[in-house]
Amino acid sequence: MLTILNAVKRVLVGRPFRNDRLSHTLLPKRIALPIFASDALSSVAYAPDEILLTLALAGVSAVSISPLVGLAVMVVLLTVVASYRQNVHAYPSGGGDYEIANVNLGKFAGLTVAAALLVDYVLTVAVSMSSAAAYLTTAIPALHGEQAAIATVGVIILALVNLRGIKEAGNVFAVPTYIFMVSILGMTLVGIFQAVTGNLGQAPSAAFTIVPQEGFDQGLVGLAGGFLLLRAFSSGAAALTGVEAISNGVPNFKKPKSKNAATTLLLLGAIASAMLAGIIYLANATKVHIVMDPAKEFLLNGQPVPEDYIQNPVISQIAQTIFGAGSIPFYIVVAATGVILVFASNTAFNGFPVLGSILAQDGYLPRQLRTRGDRLAFSNGVLALAAGALVLIISFNADVTKLIQLYIVGVFISFTMSQLGMVRHWGRELKLARDKAVRRRILKSRTINGLGFGMTALVLTIVLITKFEQGAWIALLAMFVLFLIMWSIRAHYDNVAKELAVDEDSSPRALPTRVHAVLLVSHVRKPVLRALAYARASRPSRLDAIIVDIDHEETAHTVESWDKLDIPVPLTVLASPYRETVTPILDYVKNMKSESPRDLIVVYIPEYVVGKWWEQLVHNQTALRIKARLHFEPGVMVASVPWQLKSSEEAKALQDTQ
């Protein structure tokens, strides 16, 4: 079974890489951009949808101001990009927001940021993959209703790709990401040309009348209207997710790492802003209308829309308007958008494992997350992220609108705290700097990060106010629980370190008074005789053999065989009136320990080494239970003496030939 699993692993993951191959996994800018920026770039596929969906609650007139909301989002996006360019120069180690907050604001703030980022990475995969499933159903309507299953398969495939290694994943993702950028920007240029020449048509949903929700009959007026406007802005702020991934992935860039990361951030900001502006402009120009519930909120000539109406995403409707439904450019745009949304999840698959490794090094997560797998990727982190995303996708049935309400809180918590940390960082640097040119550079960086802090703090406040009841509280609760778990893990590791620290009582000169060996016997067979030989070879102060009397006839036969071989070790029979095996052995060992507390007791247990998985089910089960119980007894050691069955030799020979 192990051989089969190993063969499957090699097919899926590939042959393991040596440690010296790690330098070959570093990324040039042309590959780093699609890997680390695909999340932020792909946000144009759902951020405009969320803006229009929210504004639609107040009717058609409210939807018309979507360009102003998009402009506000772009201003925040460019400000955050400028701020993070300072971050990557100051902290190129890959700790990103966590390291900045931890160093400048303290462990409590650092762990808060870490919890927020981990939750946000999981949500990134869930939201992006669910949105990709929605676009796939646009191209293939027959799949409508299967979004959760499609998203689940997508997460599994993406996890397998990342288990093969970061550079291999980058080579897979680079071309589709560039196709997406070219297709969206190209569609924008064609749409603008059609608008200028008067040939731009109207979207398929332009003829629908939107029924405002109760309280918004007059549009965006009053306190409720202002609140809805802020809510639309906070939904559109999803376009900023993924910006922080580059600061977390600086170690993966080729040298000069900081400069290449900063350049990639600049490219990300320029391209994402252009794409977001183009989509929102074209959505407004073609009068794209989308609502939460088309059956209740859409009217066509005063009547509800047909029951079989399927609401397509914004980009899909724009592509249909500009290029025509069923045309090759239409399918290119829709396919590229769906693919980039799948690949956007890859940003999280690069950020989450790296952050998990750093947290594990600091003792806040299990140490298994520290190590790289066969392909030099942090495999355990990849698997943990995939598992978390699958739970969310299945729980929310891949509903993007529901998932996105949980989404933005975490990333803006990390944005805000990292920018505050950078302000403090530059403040310390300024006190130490004497050169005027250096002081000017530091003042410029502090001003940029200060502006970033003010703006992200404002957006965070808006997000918390407008999205708390819509589901943001779930994300906050998850962050709080994760914070407590990580704090508890660190406390556990600290306590274990104190407990295991070498002191006077644990000096290597402190030896046990005597060594008392105990051999467990069930039948007089070769494995027992081998264990007996090993026990005698260790020359203990005393050696006893014991057998538990479960079946009187078998016990009598074993004692007879023992005496017949004239073995110079006494065999003690332990009574077991309730036919238990483990309890009599434990009682025997405890009595020995109470009589001689300073003695070391070594229990020798014969075990079979098998080659087939089902053989393990019928052998060694009693031995496992005995070992599990004895491990809790102080001053007691367990020595397993293996006996290789023929099937184990065959399995080893088969493995050696591969």
Name the pLDDT band for 652 (thresholds 50, 70, 90).
low
Domain boundaries, the chain: 2-18+30-492, 506-656
Least confident range from 199-203, 406-410, 596-600: namely: 406-410
In this predicted structure, what is the pLDDT of residue 94?
Answer: 66
pTM: 0.71
> How confident is the model over 173-192, as pLDDT tens digits?
678 888 999 999 999 999 99
Question: Cα–Cα–Cα angle for 123, 127, 133, nearest 5°?
Answer: 145
CA distances from 160 to 11, 32, 82, 372, 426 (A): 11, 20, 34, 15, 41
Determine phi and psi for 306, rounding to 5 degrees. -55, 150
In this predicted structure, what is the pLDDT of residue 1?
Answer: 41
Average pLDDT estimate for 67-91: 89
With 80 as the cut, is the pLDDT of residue 614 above it?
Answer: no
Burial of 615 (0-12, 13-18, 19+ CB in 10 A): middle
Average pLDDT estimate for 416-431: 91
With 70 as the cut, is the pLDDT of residue 450 above it?
Answer: yes
Total residues found in the chain within this entry = 658
> How confident is the model over 216-274, as pLDDT tens digits?
766 666 777 788 888 888 888 877 877 777 777 777 788 888 888 888 889 888 998 99
Question: Cα–Cα–Cα angle for 286, 288, 293, nearest 5°?
Answer: 170
CA distance linking residue 540 with residue 351, whole number of Å: 54
pLDDT over 70 percentage in the chain: 87
In this predicted structure, what is the pLDDT of residue 166?
Answer: 52
In this predicted structure, what is the pLDDT of residue 488?
Answer: 92
In this predicted structure, what is the pLDDT of residue 502?
Answer: 67
CB 224 within 8 A of CB 215: yes
CB 453 within 8 A of CB 459: no
In this predicted structure, what is the pLDDT of residue 293?
Answer: 81
> How confident is the model over 440-449, as pLDDT tens digits?
999 999 999 9
With 80 as the cut, is the pLDDT of residue 628 above it?
Answer: yes
Mean pLDDT across the chain: 82
Name the pLDDT band for 535 (thresholds 50, 70, 90).
very high
φ/ψ bin of 475: left (φ > 0), alpha (ψ from -120 to 50), beta (otherwise): alpha
With 80 as the cut, is the pLDDT of residue 532 above it?
Answer: yes
Average pLDDT estimate for 480-484: 94
Closest by CA to 237, choosing from 86, 96, 114, 409, is 409
With 50 as the cut, is the pLDDT of residue 8 above it?
Answer: no
For residue 16, the one-letter residue type is P
Peptide linkage before 256 cis (omega within 30 of 0):
yes
Name the pLDDT band for 19 (thresholds 50, 70, 90).
very low
* Torsion (CA) 446, 447, 449, 454 in degrees, nearest 10: 130
Question: Cα–Cα–Cα angle for 124, 127, 133, nearest 5°?
Answer: 130
Specify the fold of 2-18+30-492.
Amino acid/polyamine transporter I (1.20.1740)
Helices (H), 164-256: 166-196, 222-236, 244-248
In this predicted structure, what is the pLDDT of residue 619?
Answer: 66
CA atoms within 13 Å, Cβ hemisphere of 274: 16
In this predicted structure, what is the pLDDT of residue 615?
Answer: 64
φ/ψ bin of 96: left (φ > 0), alpha (ψ from -120 to 50), beta (otherwise): left
Longest dimension (CA), the chain: 107
Least confident range from 340-354, 469-483, 534-548: namely: 340-354
Of 241-245, 259-263, 464-468, 616-620, which one has max mean pLDDT?
Answer: 259-263
Average pLDDT estimate for 332-339: 86
With 60 as the cut, is the pLDDT of residue 68 above it?
Answer: yes
> How confident is the model over 34-65, as pLDDT tens digits?
777 777 787 777 788 888 888 888 877 778 88
With 50 as the cut, is the pLDDT of residue 20 above it?
Answer: no
Name the pLDDT band for 10 (thresholds 50, 70, 90).
very low
The DSSP-derived string for 374-436 is: TTSS-HHHHHHHHHHHHHHHHHTTT-HHHHHTTTHHHHHHHHHHHHHHHHHHHHHHHHH--SH
With 60 as the cut, is the pLDDT of residue 653 above it?
Answer: no
Q: Tokens 């507390």 identify what position?
A: 597
CB 404 within 8 A of CB 396: no
CB 645 within 8 A of CB 527: no
CA distance linking residue 349 with residue 551, whole number of Å: 57
Q: Tokens 């519930």 identify what position?
A: 293
With 70 as the cut, is the pLDDT of residue 303 above it?
Answer: yes
Joined together, the tokens standing for residue 79 give 């400000």
In this predicted structure, what is the pLDDT of residue 5?
Answer: 45
Of 56-60, 96-100, 525-529, which one has max mean pLDDT?
Answer: 525-529
With 70 as the cut, is the pLDDT of residue 372 above it?
Answer: no
The DSSP-derived string for 325-368 is: TT-HHHHHHHHHHHHHHHHHHHHHHHHHHHHHHHHHHTTSS-GG
Least confident range from 22-26, 135-139, 229-233, 614-618: namely: 22-26
> How confident is the model over 143-156, as pLDDT tens digits?
777 888 888 888 88
CB 158 within 8 A of CB 347: no
In this predicted structure, what is the pLDDT of residue 11?
Answer: 46
In this predicted structure, what is the pLDDT of residue 259?
Answer: 86
In this predicted structure, what is the pLDDT of residue 650?
Answer: 55
In this predicted structure, what is the pLDDT of residue 551?
Answer: 85
List the CATH code of the domain at 506-656: 3.40.50
In this predicted structure, what is the pLDDT of residue 282?
Answer: 93
Average pLDDT estimate for 291-315: 81
pLDDT over 90 percentage in the chain: 24
Q: Terminal CA-to-CA distance of the chain, rounded, Å?
A: 15
Average pLDDT estimate for 93-104: 82
Pick the residue with more confidence: 275 or 597?
Answer: 275
Of 175-189, 217-231, 293-307, 355-369, which one has max mean pLDDT?
Answer: 175-189
CA distance linking residue 632 with residue 61, whole number of Å: 71
